[in-house]
């Protein structure tokens, strides 16, 4: 591996931030082969599978050797895996053999559209998956553009022979090679695969380590799925950079029984664990004294809360319930990030009280300015999502003029950093639009345009106020209103000729509501009373089948009252403000 007998601690720290993550794995395997790396818990929280650093290296090595016989360097390899250690081995197998990994969520048999459009976009010819997943998915892609995929069943891959530690090697990857494609952005019709390079990963992980003060003793518990940037980067790659022990469980386990998650934090004395805001809410509503006997959360140093709106009442409620188990308010670390910037953009300083402020929401919306207020009538509570790493430049810009905003002004969040990804795979137009933002000041610096609206407070924290576009963020997932609208209009023949607008709004401090406004034509308007109930349930069923979420309200409005631009595009934000201000003419809600 190296021409040295040992490394100093400083050399290790530098090396792990400068190597592709698979080479960091090699280095750590060489340094401490038998140290525990990952433990997987089953849906009852019992240990189900384990990897030492050497185990992962060997498994990944076997996968890499096999991939070399079936694919060429640079090929995209789709990974369809349930949460678990097999995924991690498959992912590292791709990296070790210079194949580009494409982690995807398992498609529902009825929900293959989005998956097919991703497969077409990334041009993958091969998919890798365990036998049990293959059995469930077999035939899903018949009669689609992805019907000729070649399947690799990872259970059949022969295990590599035990290797001598000295024979671990560095991969041939260069830091600017694309490591994997992250398909969390983009709608069904226009999938967007973020091209994350080895350099992006190494630097982003190093930033988290340094900004949050993490080390090999920072053991973690993670339940976020690996097809989501937080689950993959923070949950499964950060452990390798740190050299820690990380416990993984399925998202379903934590959502079904949040107490299993909290018990794991206590049992493994984890210092870092968290998730989107909803998991803290859920842990509060589902609190069960009986299930938490003997639990000690005083070990918990950092609780990231990101990927969705961070709500102050959620933090306070969680703290009020769990303080008796040793949980500290200072443990909360609201953060902000996105796949286009690898993951982490802002978060911390850690182990300090999270910041929040109340701003005048009217001034915020109408003038895009930050004015503090204590008047509850107009106040909107915002939580600070942390400061950027020293190597990241966060700028607030006017989304139309591209002029940099003054202090106290609200605008689009722009990012310039070495952790900004290389663009969207096979999509130069979207890459240009999103990744090549230029400020109007004449500087040739390129910025990532996040589409998020926010400002930097006097406390240097980044505050997020909303989305520039109509994107709906639900349980940490990005949903495109056009996809939901499409599903509604195709739910039954009767709706095919109608139009609709879907948007979300904050119902109260804890909950977001997703509303569908459906414009009826004359025929439907006349028969609405008899048909509404059936229509509602058909729509509800289609939305849960296709998108796995529920609509909070379905509103029918009269013909020709849905607002559209002159070019015929639905004006969702206008419909939303009419709805919220009670100015909408409603047939039935």
Partner 1 sequence: MEQQLTQIKNTISTFICTELNVDAQDIDPEMNLGAYGLGSTAATILTGILEDTYKLKLSPLLVFDYPTIDTLSAAIGEQIKVEN
* Residue in the structure block whose two tokens are 């009373």: 529
- Using the rule CB under 8 A, which residue among 498, 552, 573, 577 binds partner 1? 552
Among 352, 367, 440, 537, binds partner 1 (CB under 8 A): 537
Smallest separation, CB 260 to partner 1 (Å): 9
Q: Judged by CB under 8 A, which of 73, 74, 123, 550 binds partner 1?
A: 550
> Which of these, 362, 285, 559, lies nearest to 371 by C-alpha position?
362
What string of H, E and C letters represents the secondary structure of 149-189?
A: CEEEEHHHCCCCCCCCHHHCCCCCCCCCCEEEEEEEEECCC
Nearer Cβ to partner 1, position 159 or 513? 513
Q: Which lies closer to partner 1 via its Cβ, residue 92 or residue 261?
A: 261
Q: Which of residues 14-53 bind partner 1 (CB under 8 A)?
A: 43-44
- Contact pick of 540, 559, 561, 564 for partner 1 (by CB under 8 A): 540
Among 218, 257, 331, 520, binds partner 1 (CB under 8 A): 257
Residue 282 or 392 with smaller CB distance to partner 1: 282
- Could you tell me the smallest distance in angstroms from the CB atom of residue 579 to partner 1? 15
Q: How close are the terminal C-alpha atoms of the chain, in Å?
A: 67
| Cα–Cα nearest to 201, from 101, 71, 350 | 101
- Judged by CB under 8 A, the chain residues 496 through 525 that form the site for partner 1 are 513
**Total residues contacting partner 1 (rule CB under 8 A)?**
30
Cβ at position 213, least distance to partner 1 in Å: 33
CA distance 266 to 302: 14
Dist CA 439 CA 49 (whole Å): 50
Please say whether the beta carbons of 439 and 447 come within 8 A: yes
Using the minimum distance from each CB to partner 1, give the nearer residue, 191 or 225. Answer: 225
The Cα–Cα gap between 384 and 464 comes to 8
Which window, 233-241, 253-261, 383-391, 397-405, contacts partner 1 (CB under 8 A)? 253-261
CB of 321 to partner 1, least distance (A): 16
Residues in 279-318 that interact with partner 1 by CB under 8 A: 282, 286, 288, 291
From residue 211 to residue 250, the character string flagging contacts with partner 1 as x (rule: CB under 8 A) and all else as - is ----------------------------------------
Tell me whether residue 54 or residue 104 sits nearer to partner 1 (CB atom): 104
Of 2, 255, 402, 430, which lies in the binding site for partner 1, with binding defined by CB under 8 A?
A: 255
Q: Which two tokens stand for residue 306?
A: 């990101």
Query: Which range of residues in 88-96, 148-156, 255-263, 565-573 is near partner 1 by CB under 8 A?
Result: 255-263
Going by C-beta distance under 8 Å and a sequence separation of 6 or more, which residues neighbour residue 292? Answer: 259, 262, 263, 325
**Which element (helix H / strand E) includes 573?**
helix 572-580
Candidates 547, 557, 572, 575: give the one binding partner 1 (CB under 8 A).
547
- Report the alpha-carbon distance of residue 292 to residue 299 in Å, rounded: 15
Asked if residue 131 binds partner 1 (CB under 8 A), the reply is no
Residue with tokens 């040295």: 4
Q: Which residues contact 505 (CB under 8 A, 6 or more apart)?
A: 512, 513, 515, 576, 580
User: Contact between 73 and partner 1 (CB under 8 A)?
Assistant: no
541 lines the binding site for partner 1 (CB under 8 A): yes
* Torsion of Cα atoms, 65 then 231 then 417 then 277, to 10°: 180
CB atoms within 10 A of CB 239: 27
> 505 - beta bridge partners?
513
Instruction: Decide: is 531 part of the binding site for partner 1 (CB under 8 A).
Output: no
Other beta carbons within 10 angstroms of residue 222's beta carbon come to 29
197 binding partner 1? (CB under 8 A): no
Extended beta strands in 267-316, E state: 303-305
- Applying CB under 8 A, the span of 182-190, 444-452, 464-472, 530-538 interacting with partner 1 comes to 530-538
The answer to whether 256 contacts partner 1 (rule: CB under 8 A) is yes
- With binding defined as CB under 8 A, does residue 545 bind partner 1? yes
Residue 490 as a binder of partner 1 (CB under 8 A): the answer is: no
- Two tokens, residue 542: 């289609």
Query: Closest Cα to residue 235, out of 85, 107, 58?
Result: 85
- Report the interface residues with partner 1, using CB under 8 A: 43-44, 252, 255-258, 278, 282, 286, 288, 291, 475, 513, 533, 536-538, 540-541, 543-545, 547-553
């Amino acid at each position: 591996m190296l021409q040295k007998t040992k490394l100093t601690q400083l050399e290790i720290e530098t090396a792990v931030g400068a190597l592709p993550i698979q080479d960091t794995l090699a280095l750590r395997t060489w340094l401490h082969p038998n140290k525990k790396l990952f433990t997987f818990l089953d849906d009852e929280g019992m240990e189900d599978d384990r990897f030492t650093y050497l185990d992962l290296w060997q498994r990944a090595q076997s996968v890499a050797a096999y991939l070399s016989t079936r694919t060429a360097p640079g090929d995209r390899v789709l990974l369809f895996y349930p949460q678990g250690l097999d995924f991690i081995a498959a992912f590292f197998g791709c990296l070790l053999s210079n194949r580009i990994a494409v982690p995807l969520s398992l498609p529902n048999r009825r929900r293959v559209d989005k998956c097919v459009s991703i497969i077409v976009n990334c041009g993958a010819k091969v998919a890798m998956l365990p036998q049990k997943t293959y059995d469930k998915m077999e035939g899903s892609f018949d009669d689609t553009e992805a019907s000729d995929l070649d399947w690799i069943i990872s259970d059949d891959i022969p295990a590599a022979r035990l290797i001598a530690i000295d024979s671990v090697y560095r991969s041939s990857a260069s830091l600017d090679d694309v490591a994997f494609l992250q398909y969390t952005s983009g709608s069904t019709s226009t999938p967007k695969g973020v091209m994350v390079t080895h350099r992006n990963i190494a630097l982003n992980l190093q930033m988290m380590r340094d900004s949050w003060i993490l080390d090999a003793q920072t053991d973690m518990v993670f339940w976020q799925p690996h097809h989501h940037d937080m689950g993959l980067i923070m949950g499964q790659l950060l452990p390798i950079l740190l050299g820690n022990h990380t416990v993984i469980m399925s998202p379903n386990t934590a959502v079904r029984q949040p107490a299993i998650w909290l018990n794991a934090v206590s049992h493994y004395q984890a210092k870092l664990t968290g998730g989107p805001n909803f998991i803290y809410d859920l842990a509060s509503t589902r609190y069960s004294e009986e299930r938490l006997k003997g639990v000690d959360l005083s070990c918990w140093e950092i609780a990231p809360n990101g990927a969705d709106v961070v709500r102050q009442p959620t933090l306070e409620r969680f703290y009020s319930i769990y303080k008796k188990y040793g949980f500290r308010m200072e443990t909360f670390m609201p953060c902000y990030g996105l796949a286009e910037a690898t993951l982490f953009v802002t978060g911390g300083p850690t182990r300090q009280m999270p910041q929040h402020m109340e701003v005048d929401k009217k001034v915020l919306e109408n003038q895009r300015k930050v004015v503090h207020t204590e008047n509850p009538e107009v106040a909107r509570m915002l939580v600070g999502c942390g400061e950027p790493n020293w190597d990241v430049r966060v700028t607030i810009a006017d989304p139309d003029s591209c002029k940099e905003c003054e202090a106290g002004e609200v605008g689009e969040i722009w990012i310039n950093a070495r952790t900004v990804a290389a663009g969207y795979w096979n999509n130069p137009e979207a890459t240009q639009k999103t990744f090549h933002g230029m400020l109007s000041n004449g500087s040739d610096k390129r910025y990532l345009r996040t589409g998020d609206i926010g400002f930097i407070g006097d406390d240097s924290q980044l505050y997020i106020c909303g989305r520039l576009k109509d994107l709906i963020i639900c349980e940490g997932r990005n949903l495109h209103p056009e996809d939901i609208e499409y599903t509604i209009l195709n739910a039954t023949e009767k709706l095919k000729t109608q139009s609709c607008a879907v948007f979300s709004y904050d119902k109260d401090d804890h909950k977001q509501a997703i509303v569908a406004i459906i414009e009826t034509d004359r025929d439907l308007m006349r028969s609405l009373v008899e048909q509404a109930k059936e229509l509602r349930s058909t729509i509800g069923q289609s939305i849960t089948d296709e998108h796995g979420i529920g609509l909070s309200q379905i509103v029918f409005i009269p013909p020709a009252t849905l607002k559209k631009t002159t070019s015929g595009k639905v004006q969702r934000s206008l419909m939303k403000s009419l709805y919220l201000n009670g100015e909408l003419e409603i047939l039935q809600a």
